[in-house]
Structures are given as C-alpha cells and as structure tokens.
Amino acid sequence: MATNPANTWQADRKTRDAVVRDLEVIGEACNNVAKNHPAFASQHSEVPWGFAYEMRNALSNGYFTVYHAIVWQTIQQDPAKLRSQIPALS
C-alpha cells in the first residue's frame, strides 16, 4: 500500500509547524510590500498580496484552529504559481 503524502505530512508536526511559519513570513512580507510599495504591488497585481496576508492572519491568529488540510492544499498549488510570477517582479 502506497503512503499518502498528505497523511504523512499531517503526522509530521515539526514539518507542519515549519510550513505554517514560512507561510506566516511570506504573508507578512506581502503585506509589507503592499503597504510600503503600493505602486509596485499595483504594477504586479497578479501576485496575491492581500490573500497571502489574510492567510498569515488566519494562521497566526487562529490559535487552535489551524486547518492543516487547507495548508496542505495551499502548499501543493500556490508555490508553483508564485514561482512562475517571480521573474516578472524584477
């Protein structure tokens, strides 16, 4: 029987905590860009500046209600999108 990566990730608290922390940092960075460099953020509206910050708030202020299934879905889908947007930011 093959191991389900989502189940393996769910069981690995250390990795889950590290990923959540990284998403919090990314969200805070996106908020700083949007607040301190609004022209740049507007120029690159394809980057989900606000969504990343909202996710950060949900993770850091969610206390005992972090929905790890949503975090798993996010790390499976969004990094590839973000990675493809980075070259346009330079």
* pTM of the entire predicted model: 0.79
Q: Which two tokens stand for residue 27?
A: 């969200």
- Residues 52 and 55: their CA atoms lie apart, in Å, by 5
Euclidean distance between the first and the last CA atom of the chain, given in angstroms as a whole number: 45
Query: Of the ranges 1-15, 18-32, 45-59, which one carries the lowest mean pLDDT score?
Result: 1-15
Q: Which two tokens stand for residue 32?
A: 């700083």
- Residue pointed to by tokens 């209600």: 65
C-alpha gyration radius of the chain: 15
pLDDT at residue 46 greater than cutoff 70? yes
Domains of the chain, by residue range, sit at: 14-82
- Residues 17 and 29: their CA atoms lie apart, in Å, by 18
Q: What pLDDT sits at residue 14?
A: 92
